[in-house]
């Protein structure tokens, strides 16, 4: 009963406005804070940086290519600095974290956003290097980002936001390494939330649907991915704007939320995941378009090998 009570209280605390009456963590006003964003050169990461800067934050822009980061820093003006670091390189991430601390005096918020999409292949046909590189970037990259910045965030009693996906609980057909990574990111966020509580640090994950970025456009252009997309309801595959996704992430940071969901349909599906995941798997197994896409992907791979 005591455990059930604590679980119920945690759910109540997650509700905006109401939650604050039941001991939810105090809001984290971004004005004057230092926000460390990976994958900041374009897409969602760049929009998160813009939105955080507009809320008064100083932003450390981190990415693989320095040119676009410097352009964004120039666009934002005072309170923005760029740091080159690939999330597969722990030493480079540490240099970026140390550089942000040197430039701004510390780090209050980390938004681990960097990620890539794998080719639309089955587990049996994907190049092993492609599978492992996706996990290397999308899961281990977030872990390395956290590890490099953690001492600074603990010193400021700040917040860590991991950018996840609906693929943390959706079936990862033809996108297994991405789904594996996002499921791992979910578990990383849960572990961090418990491990860092005694330090006054909060952590959370953003379960985001498809976003109108180059990453999504490139993925949807693949014929196998398009077949999977056609098997899903339109409201699921309709991309939301990068602005809306960034606002959701930052609103979650300000609430120190353990979970953020966007767009609106993601929350109910996440809450019902035990049922929806089982139903989803069965529907996908018996969907002729999905089966056709799998056979097509395997055929293409077979032709390439011959």
Contact 261, 267 (CB under 8 A): yes
Residue 178 annotated among the catalytic residues of the structure: yes
What is the CA angle 14-15-21, rounded to 5?
90
Q: Where are the beta strands (DSSP E) in 39-89?
A: 58-63, 80-84
- Which among 178, 196, 209, 225 is annotated as catalytic? 178
Q: Which among 243, 284, 287 has a CA at the least distance from the CA of 262?
A: 243
DSSP 291: H
Phi-psi region of 33 (alpha: psi -120 to 50; beta: other; left: phi over 0): beta
Question: What is the full DSSP assignment across 229-251?
Answer: HHHS-HHHHSPBPHHHHHHHHHH
Tokens of 186: 């979910």
Q: Which among 77, 95, 79 has a CA at the least distance from the CA of 87?
A: 95
Distance separating alpha carbons of residues 225 and 228, to the nearest angstrom: 5
Tokens of 252: 């979650």
Distance separating alpha carbons of residues 64 and 73, to the nearest angstrom: 15
Distance separating alpha carbons of residues 254 and 120, to the nearest angstrom: 36
Tell how far CA 76 is from the center of its chain: 23
Residues 6+ away with beta carbon under 8 Å from 101: 107, 152
- Please list the active-site residues: 178
């Amino acid at each position: 009963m005591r455990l059930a009570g604590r679980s119920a209280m945690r759910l109540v605390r997650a509700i905006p406005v109401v939650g604050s009456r039941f001991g939810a963590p105090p809001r984290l006003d971004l004005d004057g804070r230092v926000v460390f964003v990976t994958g900041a050169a374009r897409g969602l990461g760049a929009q998160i940086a813009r939105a955080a800067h507009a809320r008064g934050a100083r932003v450390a822009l981190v990415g693989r290519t320095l040119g676009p980061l410097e352009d964004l820093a120039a666009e934002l003006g005072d309170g923005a600095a760029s740091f080159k670091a690939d999330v597969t390189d722990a030493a480079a991430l540490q240099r970026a974290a140390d550089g942000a601390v040197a430039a701004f005096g510390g780090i209050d918020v980390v938004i681990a956003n960097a990620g890539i999409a794998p080719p639309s292949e089955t587990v049996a046909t994907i190049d092993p290097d492609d599978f492992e590189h996706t996990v290397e970037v999308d899961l281990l990259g977030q872990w390395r980002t956290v590890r490099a910045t953690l001492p600074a965030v603990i010193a400021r009693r700040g917040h860590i936001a991991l950018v996840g996906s609906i693929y943390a609980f959706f079936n990862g057909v033809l996108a297994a390494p991405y789904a594996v990574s996002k499921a791992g990111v979910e578990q990383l966020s849960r572990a961090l939330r418990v491990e860092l509580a005694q330090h006054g640090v909060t952590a959370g994950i953003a379960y985001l649907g498809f976003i109108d970025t180059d990453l999504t456009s490139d993925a949807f252009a693949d014929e196998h991915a398009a077949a999977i997309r056609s098997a899903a309801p339109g409201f699921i595959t309709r991309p939301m704007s990068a602005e809306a996704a960034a606002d959701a992430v930052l609103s979650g940071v300000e609430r120190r939320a353990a979970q953020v969901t966007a767009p609106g349909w993601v929350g109910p599906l996440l809450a019902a995941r035990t049922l929806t995941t089982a139903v989803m798997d069965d529907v996908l197994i018996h969907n002729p378009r999905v089966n056709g896409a799998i056979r097509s992907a395997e055929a293409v791979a077979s032709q390439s090998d011959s």
